[in-house]
Chain A
């Protein structure tokens, strides 16, 4: 057992560091996601990485991957987090991309993969429905074959950033008579198709990131079906289990701890830095220790996977990772005391008075805390993840 990096790995790390330092997009420097003005801001970093050929490290090389080792990918993710680069949106690169290169036809690959890599085609994920969240397989959106088209009817919801999306990948029911999991297909839909409409959902922090997507007699060419009809559940499960690297968000949380310590050092309590307060520093220490355990749990998972093993460790990473992310936002809010109160407006609030008092690091901190509650709900809630461990690991 050892956790040393080879000299080659260290050299790679330096190369990544230098690249990020030189190419960090100035247009979004220092901006958090809820300050983004629009599509371009979301895509600024994506485009930089694409140009360098680094946008999809997890993809096979033949489709545009980097050919890095697992350790290199890990280092890359870590360096991006430590430099606080914008996040690459997962819907194209991490979600539908792998489904396409694994299950789609050559024609579909040619049509979609380059545009996913370039960021020119924005994807959103159409899984959840009003009646089907945790119990995804109960979904009702129907696709009825009509010649060389499907006619799609139904409603998707919680669709993240659908307001910018060019395409949506959907789970639809193609066989209403089959057992739940067996009647589902995986369909790609052009958002410009007649009958697709998007309605915003505002979350409690005031942001507009999620949407309802209505599908009303939408004509979708059969050539947009991925794989086989009624086998969509297999692809959906593949997708859910695919992107494990990064699910724990360890590096981003490490960076979050650094930021928290910095602001706790700036905050005053009785003329001394809050960071020196035994209670507050204890809270931070506890968080760091939890994070350190998680980091090694993730490394063990990676090592195990590179030997071909894999298991429900992903559920541990998701549960603990999101718990830590939530506690980080909680402690940040605690650190800033009364300056947690002010509301930081979004562009869509159209407020004439955009004044936000308090130190910069306090702006939006409460809203961030509120929004981060979502992490234990989406992507398989913490309860569902525990069910998985209970069943798959403990055999209960």
Chain B
């Protein structure tokens, strides 16, 4: 048993930490979020330079040859800066699809482009009627000649305004919610029939409603096996959950530190408010929520490679813990900051908003409680 990091992993953490501290100050982030595009291409190229965009890819593919632990380290540090650039969508999710199921041609075309910062991806999976069921798909890809014709509407595709390509889940066979009949496609956003309506999200990201109208796809657009894409989607989403858990603990740590610091300095009734025992206990509970979340993040990160059932249970467990803890820590960080916690000016609200939306992503607490119970 060993929970320590290797020297390379520590170096990796240090370099991401340095980037967040120096280049991703809260003011810089605010400027990025408010800019027309809502993200910084310069930062993206910096990620490429630091090797972050290649972290999970093999050295043959031009990557660092890292694994889930490296992703966890990067996401945790990004969480501390609430980095908006689409690392999750591009490297973790699209990268996951390509690594696990991409054809040789797909890997050779797309992975180097990702590593070099030339290609940005977004994952289009949610649909208005589907809630958190990854198989509830009204978007269809119908066989047409050698390829497919894609039709339908994907909801709240995070990062789509920045993306060159979309990874799209679509139904190729079966009924709307059947587990069989799900396939995964790579779709060029510039392809004829793809249209996006873009908008900002409450946590400082950008998203799109994406509609496909008779989009013609070649047979080479499929990632993985036709009609049997769901296990692949679930695997990649579970990896996404591990990455989001890491991002969340980064955010929680910032909130807890900020709250403790504030309560030491803010005076009311002639004493620092941190002297009030009720607030001390609250901060202890926030701290424990954080520690439990760190533990479960390590757990899920280490179990991503286990059997399908074990992996799913680990991911759902993590999502439940992170969702609950994120809510507790976020709400109380605001509460203990009083009026200041409510402002847009202070960073606290921004971390709270991000933690709130992390709970929604890939299924909230209730969804994963049910999933866990059904697997146990």
Contact = CB atoms under 8 A, between A and B. Distances in A.
B277 to A, nearest CB: 11
Contact of A341 (B128, B156, B339): B156
A383 B200 CA distance: 35
A158 B339 contact: yes
Given A135-B268, A270-B177, A357-B155, A370 B202 contact: yes
Interface stretch (B130-138, B294-302, B314-322): B130-138
A157 B339 CA distance: 9
A203 B357 CA distance: 18
Contacts, number: 146
Contacts of B130: 268
A339 B335 contact: no
B364 interface: yes
Contact of B349 (A210, A337, A370): A370
A280 B370 CA distance: 12
A303 interface: no
A358 to B, nearest CB: 7
Interface in B180-226: 197-203, 205, 207, 209
A374 B341 CA distance: 9
A104 B136 CA distance: 66
A134 B338 contact: yes
Given A274-B131, A338-B156, A355 B342 contact: no
Interface string B318-361: 00000000000001001100110111110001101100110010
Contacts of B209: 357
B202 A343 contact: yes
Contact of A202 (B136, B201, B278, B344): B344
A166 interface: no
A369 interface: yes
A366 B197 CA distance: 20
Given A128-B339, A267-B131, A381-B338, A337 B202 contact: no
Contacts of B268: 132-135, 138
B369 interface: yes
A341 B202 contact: yes
A341 B357 contact: yes
A357 B211 CA distance: 13
A376 B209 CA distance: 35
A203 B155 contact: no
A205 B350 CA distance: 10
B335 A373 contact: yes
Nearest to A203: B342
A342 B338 CA distance: 26
A119 interface: no
A371 B202 CA distance: 12
Contacts of A353: 198-199
Given A279-B369, A353-B199, A356-B199, A340 B335 contact: no
A289 interface: no
B199 A133 contact: no
A377 B339 contact: yes
Contact of A373 (B133, B267, B342): B342
A283 B269 CA distance: 38
A170 to B, nearest CB: 17
B268 to A, nearest CB: 4
Contacts of A381: 335, 338
B26 to A, nearest CB: 13
B334 A271 contact: no
B126 A338 contact: yes
Contact of A270 (B131, B201, B202, B369): B131
A204 B342 contact: yes
B129 interface: yes
B353 A370 contact: yes
Contacts of A269: 131, 133
A338 B155 contact: yes
A332 interface: no
A353 B349 CA distance: 24
Contact of B207 (A342, A370, A378): A342
A204 to B, nearest CB: 3
A275 interface: no
Contact of A339 (B132, B156, B341, B343): B156
Interface string B242-271: 000000000000000000000000011110
A207 B118 CA distance: 37
Given A204-B350, A267-B131, A270-B136, A133 B339 contact: yes
Interface string A352-396: 010111100000001101110110111001110010000000000
A187 interface: no
Nearest to B271: A135
B370 A279 contact: yes
A356 B198 CA distance: 9
A333 interface: yes
B3 interface: no
From A203, A341, A378, residue with most partner B Cβ within 10 Å = A341
Interface string A106-137: 00000000000000000000001001111100
A358 B202 CA distance: 14
A337 B131 contact: yes
Interface of B: 126, 128-133, 136, 155-156, 158, 176-177, 197-203, 205, 207, 209, 267-270, 276, 278-279, 331, 334-335, 338-339, 341-345, 349-350, 352-353, 356-357, 360, 364, 366, 369-370
9 contacts: A131-B267, A133-B268, A135-B269, A201-B343, A337-B131, A338-B360, A339-B156, A342-B207, A366-B202
Given A210-B339, A342-B200, 10 more contacts: A128-B339, A134-B269, A204-B352, A268-B130, A280-B366, A334-B364, A338-B156, A339-B155, A341-B205, A357-B209
6 closest residue pairs by CB, A with B: A204-B349, A135-B268, A338-B156, A202-B344, A341-B201, A343-B200
Interface of A: 128, 131-135, 138, 157-158, 201-206, 210, 267-271, 274, 277, 279-280, 283, 333-334, 337-343, 353, 355-358, 366-367, 369-371, 373-374, 376-378, 381-383, 386
